Amino acid sequence: MRASDRAYRALLDEIQSGALAPGAVLGEVEQSVRLGVSRTPLREALGRLIADGLVVQPSPRVTVVSDLDAGDIRELFEVRRALEETAARLAVRSGDGEAFAALADEFAGTDAAADPDAYYALIARFDEAMDGAVANGYLTSALKNVRTHLVRVRRLARDNPERLAVSVAEHRLIASAVAAGDAELAAHATHVHLHNALTAILASLEGNP
């Protein structure tokens, strides 16, 4: 793996996990030493993170982890809603009903509150299946960028056992609708899921139950 790729991967993981919080300053000298790379590959890695929208440069010599407030999250979900509802409709064209029926069964047997990490791993496999069914490189590329930011959102918001349980049921309905070939139900179920997810995340950030 190239040095710039290693630096990018390391910084991405730290930003997504919250180890590098919003507003954290990423000094070139400090980060080069810490990550064990020279400044040229570090600059390449930072350039990719800037393109992702995960870091910003308020001045030429200052690089910081980008902020993520309620307004940012709302804007992210506006884009997510447009992309994922379209993806849900397009996924129905794949005709791979068995794969989505199997995913629906997995969601039915999932206790997200007991093991959130396993649940998020199942969501990642669901997303992979959706991307494969959509078969549209432009759409999946845009979704990949959105998901990069969603990891941060999940870390910033508190896990809510009741919300996780409802989310499982919502994903099961989406998978079942795709399996049944019902494009409009798949899109509507996606819309409801995203509305509920956004509401819960914003409430969590505001400190509401």
Residue 209: which residues within 8 A CB-CB, separation 6 or more? 203
* pLDDT value at residue 208: 52
More confident residue, 34 or 157: 34
| Domains of the chain and CATH, by start | 3-65 (1.10.10.10), 70-205 (1.20.120.530)
Average pLDDT over residues 109-132: 92
Tokens standing for residue 31: 């980060």
Average pLDDT over residues 52-60: 90
The pLDDT tens digits for 14-55 are 998 889 989 999 999 999 999 999 999 999 999 999 999 999
Handedness of CA 61, 65, 69, 72 (dihedral sign): positive
Residue 1 pLDDT grade (very low, low, confident, very high; cuts 50, 70, 90) = confident
Average pLDDT over residues 154-180: 87
Determine contact, residues 112/164, Cβ cutoff 8 Å. Answer: yes
* pLDDT value at residue 61: 82
Average pLDDT, the chain: 91
Residue that the structure tokens 């919300």 belong to: 163
